[in-house]
């Protein structure tokens, strides 16, 4: 199958990262196309039923370092620390 579309930005992946980028870019007035390899909800995002933890940046004590520590603690020894970092 072949198809074409005009866009200012192509986002690869329809998880929370890709869709957040796509929505932000759309709000900036860009024409966005999202492509993904499978069903729209086939990635990890659908499993994050406790919500998605992020670094907001303007909250006291909030930092990338704290987010990494939280992720490693929640992973209970199963995380690849380099991948988390």
Does position 43 interact with ligand FAD (CB under 6 A)? The reply is yes
Does position 45 interact with ligand FAD (CB under 6 A)? The reply is yes
Does position 32 interact with ligand FAD (CB under 6 A)? The reply is no
Does position 38 interact with ligand FAD (CB under 6 A)? The reply is yes
> Across the strands, what pairs with 35?
12
Residue 14 buriedness (CB in 10 A; 0-12 / 13-18 / 19+): buried
- Between strands 9-12 and 32-35, the pairing is parallel
Q: Could you tell me how far CA 79 lies from the centroid of its own chain?
A: 18
Does position 36 interact with ligand FAD (CB under 6 A)? The reply is yes
Query: Binding ligand FAD by CB under 6 A: which of 42, 65, 75, 84?
Result: 42
Q: State the residues that interact with ligand FAD by CB under 6 A.
A: 12-18, 36-38, 42-45, 47-48, 50-53
């Amino acid at each position: 199958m072949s198809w074409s579309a005009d866009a200012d930005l192509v986002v690869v992946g329809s998880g929370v990262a890709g869709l957040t980028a796509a929505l932000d870019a759309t709000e900036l007035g860009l024409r966005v196309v999202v492509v993904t390899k499978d069903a729209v909800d086939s990635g990890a995002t659908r499993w994050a039923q406790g919500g998605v933890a992020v670094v907001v940046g303007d909250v006291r004590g909030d930092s990338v370092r704290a987010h990494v520590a939280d992720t490693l603690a929640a992973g209970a020894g199963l995380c690849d620390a380099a991948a988390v970092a």
